[in-house]
C-alpha cells in the first residue's frame, strides 16, 4: 500500500507522517517513509539527524544509477521504519519537483517498492504540480493534514482537486482528513458538509506533539521517558488501523475557489455563538427549555 500525505505548509505533515509510520510498524507492517521536500527534514524525528539525500548520493556518483545500492539511500529509523529523503537543489536554483520524480525512478530501479508493506510519501506543502504531484501517480490513498483554519482548509480543497484529477487515470482515493492540533472542528465540519469526505481523526492541541518535533523524536519514542503521553499515541494507532482496514475512500469533488471563500467567509463573518447554537438545537427539537 502506498500513501501520500499532503497539506498546507507548516501544518505538521512530517510530525504526523512519522508518527503514522511508527504506528503502522507497531501493527506489524514493514514501512518506508519517503521525504519529498528539498528541506530534507521529513524523517528527522525518526532518525534524529538529517540523513543523506537521494540528490546528494546521485551527485556523488556522477548520476550513475548503476553505482547506487539500497543501503546508500535507505536509512534505518526508530521502530524499524526505513527512511529516504529526496532532497533538492539549493534554494532558488533548480526544480525540487524534478528530484521527487528522480527519487521515485531510482527506488523503482532498486526494486525498493516491492520490499515494503507500506510506503508513505511525505510531500512538500500543498504543491500539487510537476514532480511534487508524482507521488499521487503511485499512491493508493492520499491523506490530507489540516487544522480548523481557513488557509489549511483552502489548501485541502486544492489538494482534493488534484486527487480528483489524478483519479481519472489512476485508482487513487482520498482516505480522508486528519485534523492536527486543533481545539475545535467547526470549520472542518462546515467544509466536509459542503464537500463530503471522511475525517479520519482530529488531534487536540497537545503540546507534546509540537515538542516532539523540536526534540527530534516521535511521540512513541518519547513515551519511554514520559509514560503520561501514551494516550497521544492512540490517536496515531487509530489512524493506522483505519488505513490498514483498506477503506473505500473517495474521489472528492472540490468546491470552486470562489464558492469556498464565500462558504467559510460567511462562517467567520456570521458566527453562531454557543447560546444561539443551543437555541437553534432547541428549536429543531420543537420545544424551548426553561
Positions marked active-site: 8, 13, 39, 126
Question: Residue 238: enclosing H or E segment and its boundaries?
Answer: helix 230-244
Is 42 assigned to a binding site? no
Is 39 assigned to a binding site? yes
Closest to 86 measured CA to CA, from 75, 70, 102: 102
Is 162 assigned to a binding site? no
Name 270's Cβ contacts closer than 8 Å, sequence gap at least 6.
none
268 — phi, psi (to 5°)?
Answer: -70, -40
Terminus-to-terminus CA distance in the chain, angstroms?
Answer: 55
Cα within 13 Å of Cα(124), Cβ side: 23
Is 180 assigned to a binding site? yes
Cα within 13 Å of Cα(146), Cβ side: 31
Is 255 assigned to a binding site? no
Q: CA-CA distances (angstroms) from residue 65 to 43, 76, 86, 232? A: 23, 21, 15, 41
Is 233 assigned to a binding site? no
Is 181 assigned to a binding site? yes
Is 15 assigned to a binding site? yes
Q: Left, alpha or beta for 130 (phi > 0: left; psi -120 to 50: alpha)?
A: left
DSSP 155-213: HHHHHHHHHHHHTTTS--EEEEEEE-S-S--HHHHHHHHHS---EEEE----HHHHHHH
Query: How far is the C-alpha of 274 from the C-alpha of 278, rounded, in Å?
Result: 6
Query: How far is the C-alpha of 178 from the C-alpha of 16, rounded, in Å?
Result: 9
Is 108 assigned to a binding site? no
Query: How far is the C-alpha of 8 from the C-alpha of 145, rounded, in Å?
Result: 7
Residue stretches of the annotated binding site for ATP = 10-15, 39, 180-181
Amino acid at each position: 500500500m502506498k500513501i501520500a500525505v499532503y497539506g498546507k505548509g507548516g501544518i505538521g505533515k512530517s510530525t504526523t507522517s512519522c508518527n503514522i509510520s511508527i504506528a503502522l510498524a507497531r501493527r506489524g507492517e514493514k514501512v518506508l517513509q519517503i521525504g519529498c521536500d528539498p528541506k530534507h527534514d521529513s524523517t528527522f524525528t525518526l532518525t534524529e539527524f538529517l540523513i543523506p539525500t537521494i540528490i546528494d548520493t546521485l551527485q556523488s556518483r556522477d548520476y550513475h544509477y548503476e553505482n547506487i545500492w539500497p543501503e546508500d539511500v535507505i536509512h534505518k529509523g526508530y521502530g524499524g521504519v526505513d527512511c529516504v529523503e529526496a532532497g533538492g537543489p539549493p534554494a532558488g536554483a533548480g526544480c525540487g519537483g524534478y528530484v521527487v520524480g528522480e527519487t521515485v525512478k531510482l527506488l523503482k530501479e532498486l526494486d525498493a517498492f516491492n520490499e515494503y508493506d507500506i510506503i508513505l510519501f511525505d510531500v512538500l506543502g500543498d504543491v500539487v504540480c510537476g514532480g511534487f504531484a508524482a507521488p499521487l501517480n503511485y499512491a493508493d490513498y492520499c491523506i490530507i493534514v489540516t487544522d480548523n483554519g481557513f488557509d489549511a482548509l483552502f489548501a485541502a480543497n486544492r489538494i482534493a482537486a488534484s486527487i480528483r484529477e489524478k483519479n481519472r487515470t489512476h485508482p487513487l482515493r482520498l482516505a480522508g482528513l486528519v485534523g492536527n492540533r486543533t481545539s475545535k472542528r467547526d470549520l472542518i465540519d462546515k467544509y466536509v458538509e459542503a464537500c463530503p469526505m471522511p475525517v479520519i481523526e482530529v488531534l487536540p492541541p497537545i503540546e507534546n506533539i509540537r515538542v516532539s518535533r523540536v526534540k527530534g523524536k516521535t511521540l512513541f519514542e518519547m513515551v519511554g521517558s514520559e509514560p503520561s503521553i501514551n494516550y497521544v499515541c492512540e490517536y496515531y494507532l487509530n489512524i493506522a488501523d483505519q488505513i490498514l482496514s483498506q477503506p473505500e475512500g473517495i474521489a472528492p469533488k472540490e468546491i470552486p475557489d470562489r464558492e469556498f471563500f464565500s462558504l467559510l467567509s460567511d462562517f467567520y463573518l456570521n458566527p453562531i455563538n454557543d447560546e444561539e447554537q443551543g437555541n437553534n438545537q432547541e428549536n429543531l427539537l420543537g420545544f424551548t427549555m426553561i
